[in-house]
Amino acid sequence: MKSIRLPAWLTQGLNKGLAAPLIIIMLLAMMVLPLPAFVLDMFFSFNIALAIIVLLTSLYTVKPLDFMAFPAVLLVSTMLRLSLNVASTRVVLTEGHTGPDAAGKVIEAFGHFLIGGNYTVGIVVFIILTIINFTVVTKGAGRIAEVGARFALDAMPGKQMAIDADLNAGLIGEQDARRRRTEVAQEAEFYGAMDGASKYVRGDAVAGIMVTVINIVGGLMVGLVQHDMGFADALKNYTLLAIGDGLVAQIPSLIISTAAGIVVSRVASEQDIGGQLINQLFAKPQVLYITAGIVGGMGLIPGMPHIAFFLLAATLGGGAYIISKRAKAAATVAPVVEAPVAAPEQEEASWQDIMPVDTLGLEVGYRLIPLVDKGQGGELLKRIKGIRKKFAQEVGFLAPPVHIRDNLELRPSAYSITLKGVEIGNGEANNGQFLAINPGMASGVLPGTATKDPAFGLPATWIDASLRDQAQSMGYTVVDAGTVIATHMNHLITSHAADLLGRTEVQNLLDHLAKDTPKLVEDLVPKMISLSALQKVLQNLLIEGVHIRDMRTIIETLAENTPTVHDAGELTALVRIALGRAIVQQLFPQAAELPVMTLDNRLERLLMQALAASGADGSGIEPGLADTITQQASSATKVQENLGHTPVLLVPAPLRTLLARFLRRSLPQVKVLSHSEIPDSKSIRVTSLVGGQA
């Protein structure tokens, strides 16, 4: 007959799916079914091998999440030891009268070779191992896991905001942000699971003592009553078997408890625990020299083992000499002799000496040069590329390149962001330190240099790298110097988007749109509207924070209305109505009900009269009324922000442009919408009135 072979993908799926049920069934069968001595030997050997594998895996683990299955492994290994205890107890009590090899060669070896066949020594060794495992290793690992879980939960908001800051600055993509958020949640779950799993190991230690005592007492009763053995023989036989059984279970338990302590107590870095120990414990030759001197001095004391102390002192001194020699060799760099360069002749001035003004520029002090030097890593260069890509995807056009240069006139850690040669923002960033930003819910004060976040003005503190985890656990948003500059630049580029949209960018937008709809673009520009007029409409949208990604809708609306409307302001209002759904989505994402502020009826009538008298420039608003509008709009805005809503003022269409221009300087965070811009599918909820006491 021909054998039937299942597909490889099916057999692999069955194997992985059946692994967990088979392990559980095996553990239960070991507790119920009698096992021969040879099978016990195999399982005890496997238990020891499993413990060693777990220990070595924990030593070579770089991050705790690299061994995320450890809590489950801890539980399964504990259940395996308990099942082996039950199976070996059955064999010890039924076959113990036949000799010390009744329960297998492994238990016999632990009973004879490890404790010398002396059951008194075995009892003492077993109790010591159990105490070490129960009171020191397991208890300490459990406490660290408990504290780690608490700190991980406390640090989650800060870490999540740091991820959001990196995402907004264009440093990472949406996939990376989602992965990092998952890692933050998994870290908290891991420490919580480790805290619970360590209780199993502590229970295992208690169960090991009880099982050993039961084996000794039960063995004596079985030997004396059922097999007519002498008291001394029965005590020796069953005690050696019980102690051997206890040791063969407790030693793997101690190994796995040690592995648990290593996993939860290590500080995350790019090295495994072995590399950390070697690089940090034996890195300073001065420490080894002093230690060698102290150990050598102890060897001179009469009665001390002189050879051992002198040999150890010589080893430490030799190691210190080798380390210091390597450090000096690495620090020695041959000076590069440069040939003298002849001074160039002074040339006459020419038109080439007139340098064009950079649209966007970044100037840095000399301490920040490593952030923008490609030869030294230049992480800020990659982040600026990410900012431009994110800006293009969100706003709708490609920002000009950022020209970076060093400026010795700036303070060493200062930077300046320029737009068309004029500074629009500046700040300081301490390279090598981290900025801990208080988003409003951080607890405690951090040691460091108090400052403000240059992008949003939030209170912040420059801290050392060693305080980063502590700051995150206290609720601070912690970012490095490069992220501080990138976030500030992203904020300024977004807020000055209208100034960045020149005629070249508008022409590039049209060329890009013409690839899909060439006839639409050809009929509009320049036949119906000039390039400068189109630029003005787009700039009007960007000034009020409206993205221009939907260029097709903008072009279609202009093509429909330019035959009868020629004013750029009126065309902008018509385009805003066409983009109403996108504008509302931008301000109220995924909200069916829009909480807004509105004008009091009396104020609305006054403004309509002023508009009729002076036009859309708002020059007819008398100063007292203007102050009242500003004060009450500010109060209503604070109410909106305290409720967690975006401050949006809903007004009649004729007043929208007037109030948007009026509030732009005093309350730039307030967005002004007209009733005609609200989609029919959205409902409105008025939260406050502006001008109720006007």
540 and 466, same domain (yes or no): no
- Domain end (from 494, 529, 562): 494
Label residue 444 left, alpha or beta by phi (over 0 means left) and psi (-120 to 50 means alpha).
left
Q: How far, in Å, CA of 579 to CA of 596, rounded?
A: 19
Number of domains composing the chain: 5
- Domain end (from 544, 578, 612): 578
With a pLDDT cut of 70, the percent of the chain lying above it is: 80
Higher pLDDT, 224 or 363: 363
164 and 73, same domain (yes or no): yes
pLDDT tier for residue 534 given thresholds of 50, 70 and 90: very high
**Is residue 477 assigned to a domain?**
yes
Q: Give pLDDT tens digits for 378-418.
A: 888 888 888 888 999 899 999 889 999 888 888 889 999 99
Domain region containing 84: 37-269
Cis, peptide link before residue 654, omega less than 30° from 0: no
**Is residue 16 assigned to a domain?**
no
122 and 197, same domain (yes or no): yes
Judged against a pLDDT cut of 60, whether residue 239 lies above it is answered with yes
Q: How far, in Å, CA of 45 to CA of 177, rounded?
A: 45
Higher pLDDT, 230 or 195: 230
With a pLDDT cut of 90, the percent of the chain lying above it is: 21
44 and 106, same domain (yes or no): yes
Q: What is the maximal distance between C-alpha atoms in the chain?
A: 121
**Is residue 678 assigned to a domain?**
yes
**Is residue 333 assigned to a domain?**
no
The CATH number of the domain where 533 resides is what?
Answer: 1.10.8.540
Neighbouring CB atoms inside 10 A of 497's CB total 24
pLDDT tier for residue 166 given thresholds of 50, 70 and 90: confident
How high is the pLDDT of residue 169?
65
**Is residue 7 assigned to a domain?**
no
613 and 686, same domain (yes or no): yes
Q: How far, in Å, CA of 23 to CA of 384, rounded?
A: 52
222 and 249, same domain (yes or no): yes
Report DSSP letters for 499-547, one per residue.
HH--HHHHHHHHHHHHTT-HHHHHHHTTTTS-HHHHHHHHHHHHHTT--
490 and 595, same domain (yes or no): no
Judged against a pLDDT cut of 70, whether residue 12 lies above it is answered with no
pLDDT tier for residue 573 given thresholds of 50, 70 and 90: very high
Higher pLDDT, 195 or 1: 195
Are 580 and 550 a contacting pair, CB within 8 Å?
Answer: no
Judged against a pLDDT cut of 70, whether residue 113 lies above it is answered with no
**Is residue 379 assigned to a domain?**
yes
For 521-534, b where at least 16 C-beta lie within 10 A, e where not — what string? beebbeeebeeebb
pLDDT tier for residue 337 given thresholds of 50, 70 and 90: very low
Q: Which residues contact 158 (CB under 8 A, 6 or more apart)?
A: 442, 471, 472, 473, 474, 475, 476, 477, 478
Label residue 349 left, alpha or beta by phi (over 0 means left) and psi (-120 to 50 means alpha).
beta
Q: Give pLDDT tens digits for 45-95.
A: 887 888 888 888 877 777 767 777 777 777 787 788 778 777 777 777 777
**Is residue 586 assigned to a domain?**
no
Listed range (109-118, 240-249, 287-296, 356-365) with the worst mean pLDDT: 109-118
Q: Which residues contact 649 (CB under 8 A, 6 or more apart)?
A: 596, 597, 598, 599, 633, 659, 663, 670, 671, 672, 673, 690
pLDDT tier for residue 153 given thresholds of 50, 70 and 90: low
515 and 618, same domain (yes or no): no
Judged against a pLDDT cut of 70, whether residue 692 lies above it is answered with no
pLDDT tier for residue 560 given thresholds of 50, 70 and 90: very high
Q: How far, in Å, CA of 218 to CA of 405, rounded?
A: 84
Q: Give pLDDT tens digits for 292-309.
A: 888 888 878 887 777 887
Instruction: Identify which of 414, 428, 419 has the alpha carbon closest to the alpha carbon of residue 361.
Output: 419
244 and 368, same domain (yes or no): no
pLDDT mean across residues, the chain? 80
DSSP assigned state of 335 = P
Are 602 and 691 a contacting pair, CB within 8 Å?
Answer: yes
Listed range (146-155, 169-178, 457-466, 555-564) with the worst mean pLDDT: 146-155
Judged against a pLDDT cut of 60, whether residue 267 lies above it is answered with no
Q: How far, in Å, CA of 637 to CA of 340, rounded?
A: 66
Judged against a pLDDT cut of 50, whether residue 498 lies above it is answered with yes
Are 506 and 535 a contacting pair, CB within 8 Å?
Answer: yes
- Domain end (from 466, 494, 522): 494
Q: How far, in Å, CA of 448 to CA of 453, rounded?
A: 14
70 and 177, same domain (yes or no): yes
Neighbouring CB atoms inside 10 A of 586's CB total 15
**Is residue 201 assigned to a domain?**
yes
Instruction: Identify which of 252, 212, 210 has the alpha carbon closest to the alpha carbon of residue 78.
Output: 252
